[in-house]
Structure formats: C-alpha cells, structure tokens
Amino acid sequence: MTIKPRKESKELKIYKIINSRKVMSKEDTSHLARLEKGYGG
C-alpha cells in the first residue's frame, strides 16, 4: 500500500507566514493552532 506524503494546506502556510511577520489576534492564533494540530494528525 502506497502512502501519500502530507502537504500543508495553503491556509496553513499563509497563517505561518503572517504569524512570523506580525502579532496576530487571539482568534487567528487559535485558528493557526487548530490547523497545525490537524496537519500533525
């Protein structure tokens, strides 16, 4: 059985870039945490 490698979604990539460049709101920070948790499995 072949397992496809995971790829980060565009939304997750954008949130990571924004987070590294400026301070995000509490809602955006929690959304980023949920995206990272979902990506991690």
Tell me the residue range of the domain where 14 lies: 10-40
In the chain, the number of structural domains is 1
> What are 1-41's pLDDT values in tens digits?
788 888 999 999 999 999 999 999 999 999 999 999 999 87
Task: With respect to residue 25, please indicate whether it lies within any of the assigned structural domains.
Answer: yes
Taking alpha carbons only, the member of 10, 9, 11 closest to residue 31 is 11
Task: With respect to residue 23, please indicate whether it lies within any of the assigned structural domains.
Answer: yes
Task: With respect to residue 5, please indicate whether it lies within any of the assigned structural domains.
Answer: no
User: Angle CA(1)–CA(11)–CA(39) in degrees, nearest 5?
Assistant: 40
Task: With respect to residue 4, please indicate whether it lies within any of the assigned structural domains.
Answer: no
Give the predicted TM-score (pTM) of the model.
Answer: 0.80
